[in-house]
């Protein structure tokens, strides 16, 4: 006669084994396409400057869209303005006290985010430096390190802007430059690239910060046009300043006389290029940058390697290709290499 107790034990053991196998199979099937944690298994926090600037809003949108696609939780927060380092730091400190697995941070300046990131670093949570370089020496002294830098080549953006402005100006003339926030590294790199490309060809008669702000750029440009009436070109270190400059040029009755090149590729700038009030913009595709930040975090949480530096795509948008750019916005309208995923 068979032992009913033993048979029951066998059935229980077999059921447990099958359930365990099914659970493992389900977990394997539920992994994200990039090989990251299981769906919902990674929590990613990204903090940027402010969402009133369409550039940072696009970075947020790209990160959130990629999080939804990959099945991971993505939280994106920001300060209240381009210069709100205090507000940004408060956001980082609040998120650092929560259970996030990876952080991405766009600083206001080279050092402001280091202190609130110290608790994150102490917990060995991977941190991505996004878009604007954080001071390496100050970070090291504080015990903060970064798994990767993901951002555009701003030196190249400045060089491309210089070449485009020279072409539009016929290779000569007086130029004014609108910088971003004084001392901010992206603006410094863009100005250097622009200066390198135009040295000995265009005459830079004025360089003035306008804090990446459209209204301030409108005021500053109006003053510059009155002080230097022979200006025939303006380089603005971002699109919001470029749009402010375009309005000042229009107010002065010089639309079509003064060429304007800016940087970022936001929607309003693309439309301004189409309308002829901007000569061109160097698009930096922040939407793609946000996507790559999430992809990198997923890989880091899964203990996969990520390149130490990931260069986001940039491209000159002018009359020749603005319709394509508008049609594909916010995505780049041309294929680009993605070092994070190893594909296009």
CA dist 189 and 210 (Å) reads 16
Q: Is 105 helix (H, G, I), strand (E, B) or coil?
A: strand
Residue with tokens 């986001």: 312
- Per-residue tokens: 4: 């009913």
- Domains of the chain, by residue range, sit at 43-151+286-312, 154-283
CA dist 71 and 38 (Å) reads 8
Residue with tokens 């040295």: 199
- Per-residue tokens: 196: 């390198």
CA dist 35 and 22 (Å) reads 20
> Is the pLDDT confidence value at 39 over 90?
no
Residues sharing a CB contact under 8 Å with residue 325, sequence separation 6 or more, in sequence order: 265, 270, 283, 315, 317, 333
The Cβ of residue 16 has, within 10 Å, a number of other Cβ atoms equal to 10
Mean pLDDT of the chain: 88
Listed residue (332, 303, 331, 290) closest to 62, CA to CA: 290
Query: What integer pLDDT is reported at residue 106 of this predicted model?
Result: 96
Split at pLDDT 50, 70, 90, the class of 337 is: confident
Domain at 154-283: CATH code: 3.40.50.2300
Question: What does the DSSP 8-state code read for residue 38?
Answer: B
Determine whether domain 43-151+286-312 maps to CATH 3.40.50.2300: yes
**pLDDT tens, residue by residue, 257-277:** 999 999 999 999 999 999 999
Split at pLDDT 50, 70, 90, the class of 34 is: very low
Query: What integer pLDDT is reported at residue 163 of this predicted model?
Result: 97
> Which pairing describes strands 43-50 and 73-79: parallel, antiparallel, or unpaired?
parallel
Query: What integer pLDDT is reported at residue 344 of this predicted model?
Result: 62
- Its pTM stands at 0.80
Query: What integer pLDDT is reported at residue 68 of this predicted model?
Result: 96
Burial class (CB in 10 A: 0-12, 13-18, 19+), 25: exposed
> Is the pLDDT confidence value at 222 over 80?
yes
**pLDDT tens, residue by residue, 83-119:** 899 999 999 999 999 999 999 999 999 999 999 999 9
> Which pairing describes strands 231-236 and 202-209: parallel, antiparallel, or unpaired?
unpaired
**pLDDT tens, residue by residue, 166-220:** 999 999 999 999 999 888 889 999 999 999 999 999 999 999 999 999 999 999 9
Q: Which residues pair with 105 in a beta bridge?
A: 47, 129
């Amino acid at each position: 006669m068979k032992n009913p107790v033993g048979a029951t034990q066998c059935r229980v053991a077999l059921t447990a084994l099958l359930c365990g196998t099914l659970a493992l199979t389900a977990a394997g099937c539920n992994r994200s396409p990039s090989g990251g944690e299981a769906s919902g298994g990674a929590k990613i926090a990204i903090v940027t400057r402010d969402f009133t600037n369409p550039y940072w809003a696009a970075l947020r949108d790209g990160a959130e869209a990629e999080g939804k696609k990959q099945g991971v939780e993505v939280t994106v927060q920001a300060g209240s303005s381009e210069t709100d380092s205090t507000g940004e730091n408060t956001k980082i400190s609040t998120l650092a006290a929560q259970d996030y697995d990876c952080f991405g941070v766009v600083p206001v300046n080279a050092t402001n985010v280091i202190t609130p990131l110290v608790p994150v670093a102490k917990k060995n949570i991977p941190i991505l430096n996004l878009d604007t370089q954080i001071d390496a020496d100050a970070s090291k002294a504080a015990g903060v390190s970064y798994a990767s830098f993901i951002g555009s080549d701003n030196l190249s953006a400045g060089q491309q802007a210089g070449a485009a402005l020279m072409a539009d100006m016929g290779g000569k003339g007086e130029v004014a430059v609108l910088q971003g926030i004084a001392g901010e590294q992206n603006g410094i790199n863009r100005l250097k690239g622009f200066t390198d490309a135009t040295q000995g060809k265009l005459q830079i008669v004025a360089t003035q910060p306008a804090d990446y702000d459209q209204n301030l750029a409108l005021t500053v440009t109006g003053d510059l046009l009155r002080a230097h009436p022979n200006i025939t070109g303006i380089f603005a270190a971002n699109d919001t300043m470029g749009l402010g400059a375009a309005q000042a040029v229009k107010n002065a009755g010089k639309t079509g006389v003064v060429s304007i090149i800016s940087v970022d590729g936001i929607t309003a700038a693309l439309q301004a290029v189409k309308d002829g009030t901007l000569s061109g913009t160097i698009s930096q595709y922040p939407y793609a940058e946000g996507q790559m930040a999430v992809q990198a975090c997923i890989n880091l949480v899964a203990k996969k390697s990520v390149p130490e530096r990931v260069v986001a795509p940039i491209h000159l948008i002018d009359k020749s290709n603005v319709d394509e750019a508008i049609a594909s916005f916010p995505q780049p309208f041309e294929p680009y290499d993605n070092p994070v995923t190893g594909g296009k």
